């Protein structure tokens, strides 16, 4: 939690005011050029890359803290989750949605909405995995993976339109 609170007070990093020109992208590898820009496909690619990165950070930090440092697993899990949430928020703000000219919300409001949404998402996941396996006759992990798939898609839309959205034009 502390890294996210510190992040709330970090000075906003400068962002480009417009998408890079074609000549600026010319020397980059094809995969890198596809990640540039503010289009839906480029944002989706950066969103997916961020998700994979955060997964590795979360699993890695939790595992290192528990198995290498020797912390009790539940403490390592809580610290790993805080690190994961902090890295995720930071990458969403400065990498995934970075090509926005201006955000409609200041950093502290983005962080507050993000934390509320993350808490709601946790509650939905906990509730669905507690109730739906018995109701649907499915194993818990299938309900969990289904819930995650739905929430990952929902996250993209919520982040794009309610948390990291640009100021209205005009």
Asked, for residue 31, whether it belongs to a domain, the answer is: no
Residue 46 makes CB contacts below 8 A (sequence gap 6+) with 35, 95, 96
Specify the pLDDT at position 83.
95
Residue 83 makes CB contacts below 8 A (sequence gap 6+) with 3, 57, 58, 61
- Give residue-wise pLDDT tens across range 102-121: 888 999 999 999 999 998 98
At 136, list the tokens.
């649907």
Same domain as 92, residue 131: no
DSSP line for 47-60:
HHHHHHHHHHHHHH
Asked, for residue 13, whether it belongs to a domain, the answer is: no
Range of the domain at 120: 103-170
Same domain as 112, residue 81: no
Contact between residue 70 and residue 53 where contact means Cβ atoms under 8 Å apart: no
Asked, for residue 26, whether it belongs to a domain, the answer is: no
Specify the pLDDT at position 99.
59
Same domain as 128, residue 75: no
Question: Which residues share a beta bridge with 103?
Answer: 166
The answer to whether the predicted template modeling score (pTM) of the entire model surpasses 0.75 is no
Average pLDDT over residues 143-164: 91
Q: CA separation (Å) from 132 to 125, 127, 154, 158? A: 10, 8, 19, 24
Same domain as 66, residue 115: no
Q: What is the DSSP letter of 139?
A: -
Report the SS3 class of residue 106.
coil
- Give residue-wise pLDDT tens across range 37-83: 667 888 899 999 999 999 999 989 999 999 999 999 989 988 999 99
Nearest Cα neighbor of 125 from 150, 108, 104 is 150
Asked, for residue 23, whether it belongs to a domain, the answer is: no
Same domain as 115, residue 164: yes
Specify the pLDDT at position 139.
93
Same domain as 111, residue 80: no
């Amino acid at each position: 939690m502390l890294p996210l609170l510190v992040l709330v007070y970090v000075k906003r990093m400068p962002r480009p005011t417009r998408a890079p020109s074609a000549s600026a992208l010319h020397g980059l590898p094809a995969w890198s050029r596809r990640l540039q820009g503010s289009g839906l496909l480029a944002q989706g690619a950066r969103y997916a890359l961020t998700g994979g990165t955060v997964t590795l950070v979360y699993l890695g930090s939790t595992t290192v803290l528990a198995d290498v440092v020797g912390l009790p697993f539940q403490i390592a899990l809580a610290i790993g989750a805080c690190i994961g949430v902090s890295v995720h928020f930071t990458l969403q703000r400065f990498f995934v949605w970075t090509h926005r000219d201006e955000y409609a919300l200041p950093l502290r409001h983005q962080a507050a909405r993000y934390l509320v949404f993350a808490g709601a998402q946790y509650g939905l996941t906990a509730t669905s995995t507690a109730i739906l396996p018995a109701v649907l006759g499915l194993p818990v992990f299938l309900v969990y993976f289904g819930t995650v798939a739905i929430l990952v898609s929902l996250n993209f839309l919520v982040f794009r339109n309610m948390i990291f959205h640009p100021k209205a034009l005009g």
